[in-house]
Amino acid sequence: MRQHVNPLSKNFNEIERIPSLKEMFGDPKLNLHLDIGCAAGEFLFDLALVNTSWNYLGIEIREKLVKTAKLKVREREIKNLYFAFGNANNILNDVQSKFILKNVRSISFNFPDPWFKKRHYKRRVIQPEFIHILSNLLHKGSLIFIKTDVKDLFDYMDCTISSNFNFKTIDKNNFNYFESFNPNKVQTNREKYAIVNQLDIFDKVYIKI
């Protein structure tokens, strides 16, 4: 499978309709967490099984992965997990999906594609315009989690989010993970790989003020 998909390709201009919260989840009133670039969704399957007081929504640009994940959700009859296919930037910028950002309590960007070449930076999922959209729509107190093993990408994401005055860093040592979307600090696939290979992991949490 190809590692990187160009999110700016016109293939992703058309957006699939995101169903209402009521259609996506058994109980639409639960806390909602959004994972952007969830790949095959293993991380979200692990979370959804254990933390039944949260709803989890994963957005992934590789269609095959989303199709398989959706099938698994249906087969296992999981009511607090939903997957959407497409470029997260396009989906969340679309008028019809604004309700997602208005309802999420937290968003994670776990090990996003790094796009190392400078001329490809515009393909990175975190962009100033995208952070601007998040800052306009997220409720006060909503959280953004970023995590990567690429220092340059971490600095770029940190600078982009910190440049928006509506977000403030949370001191990780004072952060209560038990109340978050991931109380048991479940690891993503890339995170497991980074730990086994002793790569440095850089992460930060921001709060909408």
Binding site for ligand SAM (CB under 6 A): 5, 7, 36-39, 59-62, 87-89, 110-113, 125, 188-191
Select 36 or 138, whichever has its Cβ closest to ligand SAM.
36
Select 25 or 43, whichever has its Cβ closest to ligand SAM.
43
Inter-residue contact 48 to 118 (CB < 8 Å)? no
Of 113, 149, 158, 203, which is the active-site residue?
A: 113
Select 60 or 158, whichever has its Cβ closest to ligand SAM.
60
Inter-residue contact 161 to 144 (CB < 8 Å)? yes
Tell the smallest beta-carbon distance from residue 190 to ligand SAM (Å). Answer: 3
Select 9 or 22, whichever has its Cβ closest to ligand SAM.
9
C-alpha torsion sign, points 123, 126, 94, 18: positive
Q: Is 84 exposed, middle or buried (0-12, 13-18, 19+ CB in 10 A)?
A: buried
Tell the smallest beta-carbon distance from residue 80 to ligand SAM (Å). Answer: 19
Inter-residue contact 86 to 61 (CB < 8 Å)? yes
The answer to whether 200 is a known catalytic residue is no
Tell the smallest beta-carbon distance from residue 136 to ligand SAM (Å). Answer: 19
3-class DSSP state of 71: helix
Distance CA 58, CA 41 (A): 7
Which residues are identified as catalytic? 113
